[in-house]
């Protein structure tokens, strides 16, 4: 234990790292011991104006969203205008195609339905040539390497059924094809939900409420 | 043992405000008490606010197993800089760098039970070791001499052992 006599000072930020081995177990135990001292002051409810502090933090957080979102949801003005034009164009085109291609009995009238939730945008787009539907999303954060998004259909009865899993591209876009049979039902769909796919829950038919990230009602 | 913050960090990355609220409620009381002791009541809230917002803005910088410990370490370092250099919490945080060593995650968690363990462990140390550690952590005193630096290392080893040795 006599090696690295300066280790404690480095751990406490009182000396610059020198030749000491900072990745060994002793250093990590010392680092834990040092930060343990942070637990000594007694936290009290009166110590912080907890509600005011929380409100300020949330308020500022809204101005400075996490980079993964900010990069995608706050493009420069030109990109934003282009994006809006693209969405408007897609909606118009989809509505025209749908009017031409779908029978009145189609479960969803044939018009593209814009969906939006907290900055994320989705469009339910009829694909008239295949008589199928696709959900198009913009602005979804990129999941971690081992994660994918899971789509859920929320039905009028309150029943929730799993849809496909999907991964957005590096610009947060994803196209999720939907089988029309999943939509043509007496129990009509009233919206969609998107959750992070949890491998342990893959065999279940019900999403983990904690894992739901976005909900897109069909209005 | 500190529970993994991986799900929380994942939600923060996704921009989930509820995750930020959870982090705030779990960490802010202890972080505020720490900042208040080091930097004073007038600066404590600003320190906590800046550190929590840093986690929100840059969740990828923090270890899932050590998030709360690293966050408290950050609060301590920023509080010291505010007091010693008279700068704002935001300025201090802009200059802050992660310490060169990540703490072991299985040693303790940020809760009352761990705090009691740490207090009990401190009382197994000599008065000199206890005073030295508290001065170094809360006051940021310069080690001054090789002998003092070595004493600091021995005191940290003793505290690490005392914390780890207890049930």
- Region A111-136: what's the mean pLDDT? 59
Query: In DSSP terms, which residues pair with A153 in a beta bridge?
Result: A161, A192
Q: What is the pLDDT of residues A127-149, one digit of tens each?
A: 544 556 677 777 777 777 767 88
**ipTM of the complex in this document:** 0.91
Q: Assign residue B127 a region: left if phi > 0, alpha if psi is -120 to 50, beta otherwise?
A: alpha
User: Are the Cβ atoms of B164 and A29 closer than 8 angstroms?
Assistant: yes
Cβ partners under 8 Å of residue B100, min gap 6: A10, A17, A22
Residues B29, A66: C-beta atoms closer than 8 Å: no
Cβ–Cβ below 8 Å for B49 and A56: yes
CB contact under 8 A, B157 and A64: no
The answer to whether B92 and B85 have CB atoms below 8 angstroms apart is yes
pLDDT of residue A70: 40
CB pairs under 8 A between A and B: 222
Q: Give the domain ranges of chain A.
A: 7-64, 69-217
Closest by CA to A112, choosing from A122, A104, A120, is: A122
Q: Does B132 touch chain A (CB under 8 A)?
A: no
For the residues of B12-72, what is the DSSP string, one character each? HHTT-HHHHHHHHHHHHHHHHHHHHHHH-HHHHHHHHHHHHHHHHH-GGGS-TTTHHHHHH
> Is the per-residue pLDDT at A72 higher than 70?
no
Backbone angles phi, psi at B7, to 5 degrees: -60, -40
Question: Which residue ranges does chain B devote to CATH 1.10.10?
Answer: 111-167
| Nearest residue to A132 (alpha-carbon basis) of A184, A192, A90 | A184
The pair of three-digit structure tokens given for residue B113, joined into one six-digit string: 């039970």
B118/A36 touch (CB, cutoff 8 Å), yes or no: yes
pLDDT digits (tens, 9 = 90+) for A181-205: 776 677 777 777 888 776 666 666 6
> Which residues from B are below 8 Å from A172, CB to CB?
none
* CATH no. for B111-167: 1.10.10
Residue among B25, B136, B157 whose CB faces A14 most closely:
B136
Find out if CATH 1.10.357 is the number for domain B1-101.
no
Average pLDDT over residues A161-170: 80
- The tokens describing A204, both together, are 């279940």
Least confident range of A25-29, A80-84, A124-128: A124-128
Region label for A77, one of left (φ > 0), alpha (ψ between -120 and 50) or beta (otherwise): alpha
Supply the pLDDT for residue A74. 46
* pLDDT for the residue A206: 65
Other CB atoms within 10 A of residue A122 CB: 23
B149: confidence class by pLDDT, cuts 50, 70, 90: confident
| All residues at 6 or more sequence positions from A160 whose CB lies less than 8 Å from its CB, including other chains | A152, A153, A154, A193, A205, A206, A207
Between CA A109 and CA A107 the distance in angstroms is 6
- From the list B70, B107, B143, the residue facing A29 with the nearest CB is B107
For all residues of chain B together, what is the average pLDDT? 88
């Amino acid at each position: 234990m006599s090696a690295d006599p300066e280790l404690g000072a480095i751990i406490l930020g009182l000396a610059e790292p020198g030749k000491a081995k900072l990745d060994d177990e002793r250093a990590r135990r010392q680092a834990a011991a040092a930060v343990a001292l942070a637990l000594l002051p007694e936290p009290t409810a009166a110590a912080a104006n907890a509600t005011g502090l929380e409100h300020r933090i949330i308020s500022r957080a809204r101005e400075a969203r996490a980079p993964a979102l900010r990069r995608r949801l706050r493009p420069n003005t030109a990109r934003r205008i282009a994006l809006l034009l693209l969405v408007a164009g897609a909606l118009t085109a989809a509505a025209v195609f749908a009017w031409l291609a779908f029978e009145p009995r189609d479960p969803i009238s044939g018009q593209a339905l814009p969906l939006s939730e907290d900055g994320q945008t989705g469009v339910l787009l009829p694909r008239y040539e295949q008589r199928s539907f696709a959900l198009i999303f913009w602005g979804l954060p990129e999941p971690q390497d081992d994660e994918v998004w899971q789509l859920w259909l929320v039905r009028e009865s309150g029943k929730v059924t799993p849809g496909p899993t999907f991964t957005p591209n590096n610009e947060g876009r994803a196209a999720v094809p939907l089988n029309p049979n999943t939509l043509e039902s007496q129990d009509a769909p009233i919206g969609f939900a998107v959750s992070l796919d949890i491998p342990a829950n893959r065999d279940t038919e019900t999403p983990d409420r904690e894992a739901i990230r976005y909900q897109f009602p069909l209005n | 043992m500190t529970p993994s913050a991986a799900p929380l960090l994942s939600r923060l990355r996704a921009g989930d405000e509820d995750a930020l609220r959870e982090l705030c409620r779990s960490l802010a009381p202890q972080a505020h008490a720490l900042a208040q002791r080091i930097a004073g009541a007038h600066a404590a809230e600003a320190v906590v606010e800046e550190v929590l917002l840093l986690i929100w803005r840059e969740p990828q910088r923090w270890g899932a197993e050590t998030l709360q410990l690293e966050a408290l370490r950050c609060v301590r370092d920023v509080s010291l800089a505010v007091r010693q250099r008279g700068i704002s919490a935001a300025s201090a945080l802009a200059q802050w760098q992660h310490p060169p060593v990540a703490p072991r995650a299985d040693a303790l968690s940020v809760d009352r039970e761990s705090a009691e363990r740490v207090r009990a462990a401190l009382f197994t140390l000599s008065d000199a070791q206890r005073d030295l550690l508290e001065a170094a952590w809360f006051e940021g005193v310069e080690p001054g001499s090789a002998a003092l630096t070595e004493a600091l290392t021995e005191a940290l080893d003793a505290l690490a052992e005392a914390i780890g040795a207890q049930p």
